[in-house]
Structure 1
Amino acid sequence: MTDIIKDSTPSSTPFPALSNFVLLLQKQDMNEALKVGRKLLKAFNEQQFQNFDAHTSVELLIQERTSFVDQLLKKIWKHFIPVTAQSEVSLIAVGGYGRKELQPFSDIDILLISEQCTELEEPFSKLVTFLWDIGFKVGHAIRSFQETIDAAKEDVATATNLLESRWLSGNYEHFQKLQMLWRSKKFWPSEEFYNAKVAEQNQRHKRFNDAFYQLEPNIKESPGGLRDLHTLLWVAKRHFGADSLQELVGRSFISTEEYQEIKSAYLFLNRIRFTLHRLKNRLEDRLLFDNQQQVAHALGYIENDERKAVEHFMSRYYQNVSIIAKLNEILLQHFNEEIFNQGKPVITEINPRFQIVNDYLDVQQDNLFQKNPTALLEIFIILENYTHVIKGIRSRTIRLIRTHLYLIDEQFRKDPINKALFIEIFRQPKGVHAAIQRMHSYGILGAYLPVFQKVCGLMQFNIFHAYTVDEHTILVIRHLRRFFVDDYAYEYPTAHQVAKNLCKPEILILSGLFHDIAKGRGGSHEVLGAEDAKQFSTCHNLTQKDSDLLSWLVLKHLDFSSVAQRKDLSDPEVIQSFAKLVGSQERLDYLYLLTVADVLSTSKEVWNEWKNSLFLQLYNATSKALDKADTIPKDRKKLALYNQEKAKDILMQRNITSQDFQWFWEDFATTHFFTQQSAREIARMTKLLYTQNPQEIYIHIEAKTQKGASELIILMPGRDYLFAHFTHILEQLNLNIVEAKLYTGNENISLVLVYFLDTAHNPVTDENILKQIQETLENGLKQEVPSKTISKALNRRIRCFDTPTEIVFAQLNSKWTELTINTKDIPGLLAKIAQAFKKCKVRVHDAKIHTIGEKAEDVFLISNLNNEALEDEKMQLLLKEELLTAIEC
């Protein structure tokens, strides 16, 4: 640690307890020495933990640990390595140990250099074994001097270990020669070393999807973690011979302010890492969900009405790794620009204020922003206009931007020119996302919009939201912009076609900026955000129409997704109600695009073909409802007749007459089958089912449908609690039901339609698995309805969340009650719910299953066994109690 932040001298305090240990080594009493060594290490750890709990600086604790291990290791070394060989062999600390960055359970990395490797193999092996037996984790190598050089030449990681090595004992000349090696320009030249370390960092970042906003980050390896700072140090050390980043301040390579930012972030991450080791009593660098809560509590973060303690802590974490990631990018780019591009720069002037230098946008004078603060916004307009020739902004200009953020004050925000420029950034035909992303990264966006600054680094403690609010917002803008680009039309064809017809793309992008801007304040974020959007519109002189559209989009940005995933989209009343809410095709287009981008930017696991099909179904149905010329009936009875007539025409074209399927249609005439299914689907299922014997069990499975899910069709003799039966079987097979519809015919025949996905939320296409599903259902449905649910272990992630169960009843009509259940997504949840229905003699007609992260939000249309709505409050209370018992037991 002291090699990166050098503010104090490493402790050289002797440890008195070592004397007894050394005495036992001298007496050759190895068993007793081992016991004492273990106790010594345990006592030292406990002492450090006590000091840590008493708020001793982690920096001092790490220095103290390094000193302790140095002294202990030197004593053990002298015992195991023969006296005659000690002057010929070098004991060298490498890795984190060489860097003096020892956390409580860090590995002890050592290198022995000897020209007598074979002779020393046995004593060295005993030394390492002894260290392991005491309680250390040891990384070790024994090489000759030439082998050490050869290994370093071949592997940059090995070379890096030598770069931060420390001599501990033995032959000092070997160590000196290694140090001299780095003074040779031929050994890993600066530029070659730089390129290798950047490539190494890029590979590491890819393992974490190039995002420092991770749900469960690794504080050492994730982007923005400790390793990113190490990379800076290594590159600086190779080029300048600097032992610390602080030395780079004296060389004017980094500013005092940048150094202070790095120091603060570095010490913060080290404190977290120490806390993790202390809590887990082992090496642990991952901030898993349960670890996050424990660390937040240990570091004294407090919960309030608006945010949990863990959210306060993780927001602080993300703010710090964001600083590291930004400075890592700026300083590595600075190395590349200022040090390795030594030739004459290629300069193209854009205007008196800006120029392009070697494909990077740059200011012409260092005092530009001081003289003309408006240039802080103008630079992003230029970036958009020159996106085809500019790779980015020069590091020195980025630093000037960050240094002059203070100029963006209230007077700056009120300036009409600055207001116009800010809006103009959103109106450009190209480069909008890249510009806004950089504005955010360099602090411009938060400085110009203080309400946005409040959500920077804001974390929501759940599985559903994989990113902080600000990062999610930037991703939303990215997706919104891609909808307009022809090269990406294949990704979301409908969204692309809708986007191309928008008159004001900037209003859509601004809605993405504001849709979550009020999170973390308490209250409904969509309501507060709509007010913020209204104020912004007024301040920036948007027309009344644009202002109303922007604030409406922010206010209603949750509604489209909610209706699509929870409501019966075949119900004309649902569609008519939503069409009334939307009011016009224009608003529907904007809302559809915002919703798709919002969901896509929440988590990679959230979007799938099934969800896409629901969104398209709602969009198309609402478009038809808004079209007054559309001829599709708006009530159920007329819709049923309309669908039947259309289906008949399709069947006749396939030489299937109405006499052939009359029994099937008549039996289900009083159900919602003919309104919930389209004419094409009615024709398809009629053709499939009309020849089947309804007194036998018939099962048909489609691997993949247009809805983006696998489909299960069951036709069989009527049976109560059929929902409980098939959910039990499908959950045994680890299948996720996303929708189910049950129709009971007049002759007591049951028709079941189920849409399901695998555990990765994809349709099941493997023929062997489909065959297994078919056989298991055929055998299972012949048995009685199971009375017990499946018992499975709770997912590690899910276990970390306290999600209360909410149960709400709503009367739809005299036949159906809508039941909404919000609860934790526990294993076998649907089967547990189904068993509760069975105990209370409740029939399920429709089920929509919606999982968001650790939460399940399921909606059921239910009745009693007489197909009557559950209007009796006592019956509702009984069912509620049974559901709570089943879910929470």
Structure 2
Amino acid sequence: LSDRAEERAARFGDSVYLLEPDVRNGIGGLRDLDLMHWVARARWRAARLSDLVQLSVLLPREWAQIDAAARFAWRVRNLLHLHAGRRSDRLSFDQQELIAGKLGYGSSGPGVETFMSEYYRHARSLWQCRSMLLQRAEPPPKRRPREVLIGNGLKLTNEQVSIEDPGQLEVEPALALRVYDEAVRRNLPVYPFARDSIARAVASADFCERLRESPEAQRLFQRLVTTVQRTRLRGGSVLKELHDVGLLVAMIPEFAPVVGRVHHDVYHVYTVDVHSVACVDRLRELCRGELATEHPLASHLAAEISRPNVLFFAALLHDVGKDIGGKQHAVRGYEMAGKILLRLGIPEADVREVQHLILKHLHMYHVATRRDLDDPRTIESFCEEVHGREGLRELYVLTLCDVSTTSPTALTSWKARMLEELYLAADRYFESGGRHGSERLDQVKQAVLAMCPERGEREFLEYYLNAMPERYLYSNDPEEIVRHSRFARAAQMQQVNVTAMTTADPYVELAFIADDRPGLLAMITATLAAARFKVISAQVYSWIDSFGRPRALDLFWVRGSTVDAVVNGLARLERDFGRLLSQELTPAALVTGGGRTAHWSDRPTPGVQSEVVVDNRCATSDTVIEVTTRDRLGLLFWLSNAIQSLGLQISLAKINTEGTQVADVFYVTDANGAKVTDPVRIEAIKQRLLSTVARLENGSVDP
């Protein structure tokens, strides 16, 4: 039975926390309830699962947990069948909204999140009870286990750490954590009987209260949370084992409300508690150097952390403020963490640093993915929010752990690169005492010139380097600048120039060069939208060439169905771009005239609240427009088209996609190259962009 259950789990997702779970066959589904009935009948000849209480196989509270989970699962499955008019077991996004409304939670985002949190909690209960019952159903060993007393109420049973007398847990609650501390120290597993005894003990509120009050328990818990070494505990994770057995919530009861809490979107794949534990485990992997190839900088910094309590507890508690859902969870987490950490015996100085990291744990990610990292004002304002170089190291490592465990695909290579660039720029700022000089700029130019000794190329390159804006030289590596220069040199006498600069599966860097003119960015984004390529990031530059012509180099990192599909589509991009430059057709006509469907699915997904923010504080010479909305094909074109039709010049575009939500950020100036400061005009910009998004949402082909 156990083997067949594992095979079924592998077929249906191998996790309780799937975004669209199968309520019958998935882990924690009704098939697990069936399995428990079969085990009860086969092992104890019990006609009903509830009979196991009389047989002392189940505690009354354990049966109550199973019964509540079963009733909930049956209600959900019955409603699925009723609505579909047939057998239907997948709890899809649209069905989640429907059933949440039917059960009284509400069909909007918060109501659906509450409903799905209940579903995951019940599914987790069924899965844990199924595993527990299978373990108890195993026949007793034929041979007497080998036991060795090791002191402090502990013993080794068949080379597994166990408890000498389970009754001693009531007298000495810290014994529960002592078991795990010893298992980590000796690199041994915990004996199943001891694990079961601890799980039963933590069901008592009185036991948990006395455990939290124990100075020994506080000390052991700190040590277990911050341990780096590999272990032989279940899943190899100390914190996951403490969570599964109930000790994590016993020590931090504020963690209970985030158990099973879910986001009603496709970006946050895991529940808050699973993500928080995974975040700590990712930090352990970095500290052990296991991700040195994938994340060399973060691994180096993690291996040298000077305040493990600060970083590990910030990783554990960074999302604890999501206990009631809604926004501002970082602020709420900041407030909650102070009480939690002081109760755990963490020094006040460390508590303040943990609180600061929790408060700012989204800040580095948002700056890296939505702001111009080559604007000195961006780096200066970011560093003002960081507690020195040590705080910067901790925030960078925490951010990488957080993003990389939000979902398997959340930390793209582009996002990882942006985070690293922000860290390095901020570290240079701190190292120089906040001074911005031309030394780095000169170093970049020298490195570029050293790569091109040939006279003709070097002469062009020297002019190119002096003509391009400083931001371009800061944004690109010397090797990239050389490639761009060679492309620009080859494109001098051609009107239409499109090429693939680099490929890094699944992304391709595309470069466009043309005479600069108003609306050029809209033309290029229309060309990409018509080809069904998804834009990940964009850089927009202009310069005056040696012939006195205004020229533009626009770089786009895009994703198609495959890398080859993008590369093979260059001929079409060049043809369409040429038609737009010659005014043979308009960008809008090109985007709406394709008639082909998008590459991504039209399956129902949760809605996204659209928002437009205009910020004049975070950039030196540009106004920053940030549009958050649901991602869709051609969105970047329609937004850039609307912005340029308002008489604004776009100097930089950054795109940050999170599931079906996207934040498109534009650095703009007015026709005179100045920031947009008139409140009336700012409001007009907001309304125009919101109107554009709304008309796209309603299916208008010409916003």
TM-score (norm. length: structure 2): 0.89
Aligned to 1:751: 553
Aligned length: 675
* 1:595 to 2:393 alignment: no
Distance 1:402 1:796 in 2: 47
Change over 3 Å in CA distance of 1:241–1:421 after alignment to 2: same
Aligned to 1:9: none
Match of 1:833 among 639, 651, 657: 639
How far did 1:798 drift? 5.5
Distance 1:463 1:229 in 2: 28
Distance 2:543 2:631 in 1: 33
| Structure of greater Rg | 1
How far did 1:610 drift? 1.3
Aligned to 1:354: 154
* 1:819 to 2:625 alignment: yes
Distance 1:627 1:638 in 2: 14
Percent identity, please: 25
How far did 1:553 drift? 1.2
Is the 1:695–1:717 contact (alpha carbons within 8 Å) kept by the matching residues of 2? no
Structure number with greater CO (CA < 8 Å, separation at least 6) is 2
How far did 1:638 drift? 6.7
Is the 2:53–2:63 contact (alpha carbons within 8 Å) kept by the matching residues of 1? yes
Change over 3 Å in CA distance of 1:341–1:236 after alignment to 2: farther
Change over 3 Å in CA distance of 1:804–1:429 after alignment to 2: closer
Cα deviation digits, residues 648-699 of structure 1 (max 9, x gap): 33333x5556433355345x34574334334443334223422432543222
Distance 2:137 2:147 in 1: 19
Aligned to 2:571: 775
Distance 1:848 1:280 in 2: 42
Distance 2:617 2:152 in 1: 69
Distance 1:519 1:442 in 2: 22
Change over 3 Å in CA distance of 1:294–1:548 after alignment to 2: same
* 1:717 to 2:515 alignment: yes
Distance 2:146 2:482 in 1: 68
Aligned to 2:123: 321
Match of 1:733 among 509, 531, 534: 531
Identify unmatched segments of 5+ residues in structure 2. Answer: 581-585, 696-703
Distance 1:649 1:523 in 2: 51
Aligned to 2:332: 528
Identify unmatched segments of 5+ residues in structure 1. Answer: 1-196
Aligned to 2:583: none
Distance 1:412 1:469 in 2: 24
Aligned to 2:255: 452
How far did 1:519 drift? 1.0
How far did 1:641 drift? 5.0
Aligned to 1:385: 185
Distance 1:576 1:434 in 2: 39
Q: Which residue identity lines up with residue 640 of structure 2 in the other structure?
A: A
Match of 2:145 among 326, 329, 345: 345
Distance 1:271 1:469 in 2: 25
Aligned to 1:260: 64
Cα deviation digits, residues 262-310 of structure 1 (max 9, x gap): 1221111011111111122221111111111111111112589xx8221
Change over 3 Å in CA distance of 1:795–1:865 after alignment to 2: farther
Distance 1:509 1:797 in 2: 39
TM-score (norm. length: structure 1): 0.71
* 1:846 to 2:642 alignment: no
Distance 1:264 1:669 in 2: 67
Aligned to 2:700: none
Measured on the aligned residues, the alpha-carbon RMSD in Å equals 2.8
Distance 2:486 2:244 in 1: 58
Change over 3 Å in CA distance of 1:526–1:485 after alignment to 2: same
Aligned to 2:112: 310
Distance 1:678 1:571 in 2: 17
Distance 2:487 2:479 in 1: 12
Distance 1:874 1:662 in 2: 44
Alignment of 1:563-582 (within 5 A): 563-582=367-386
Match of 2:316 among 513, 522, 527: 513
Alignment of 1:488-637 (within 5 A): 488-521=291-324, 524-628=328-432, 634=436
Distance 2:382 2:675 in 1: 24
Distance 1:403 1:544 in 2: 31
Distance 2:88 2:417 in 1: 42
Aligned to 2:229: 430
* 1:373 to 2:179 alignment: no
Distance 1:623 1:758 in 2: 35
Distance 2:567 2:225 in 1: 53
How far did 1:201 drift? 1.6
Match of 1:677 among 476, 481, 501: 476
Is the 1:296–1:309 contact (alpha carbons within 8 Å) kept by the matching residues of 2? yes
Aligned to 1:6: none
How far did 1:795 drift? 4.8
Change over 3 Å in CA distance of 1:405–1:593 after alignment to 2: same
Is the 1:814–1:868 contact (alpha carbons within 8 Å) kept by the matching residues of 2? no
Q: Which residue identity lines up with residue 113 of structure 2 in the other structure?
A: E
SS at match of 1:454: helix
Distance 2:614 2:45 in 1: 67
Change over 3 Å in CA distance of 1:623–1:485 after alignment to 2: same
* 1:804 to 2:610 alignment: yes
Match of 2:27 among 207, 223, 228: 223
SS at match of 1:781: helix
SS at match of 1:738: strand
Is the 1:805–1:824 contact (alpha carbons within 8 Å) kept by the matching residues of 2? no
How far did 1:851 drift? 1.1
SS at match of 1:465: coil
* 1:880 to 2:686 alignment: yes
Cα deviation digits, residues 721-747 of structure 1 (max 9, x gap): 121122122223332212112222232
How far did 1:563 drift? 1.0
How far did 1:838 drift? 4.1
Is the 1:508–1:594 contact (alpha carbons within 8 Å) kept by the matching residues of 2? yes
Q: Select between 288-297 and 790-799 the one with higher mean Cα deviation.
A: 790-799
Aligned to 1:160: none
How far did 1:501 drift? 0.7
Change over 3 Å in CA distance of 1:659–1:562 after alignment to 2: same
Is the 2:43–2:137 contact (alpha carbons within 8 Å) kept by the matching residues of 1? no
Distance 1:249 1:813 in 2: 66
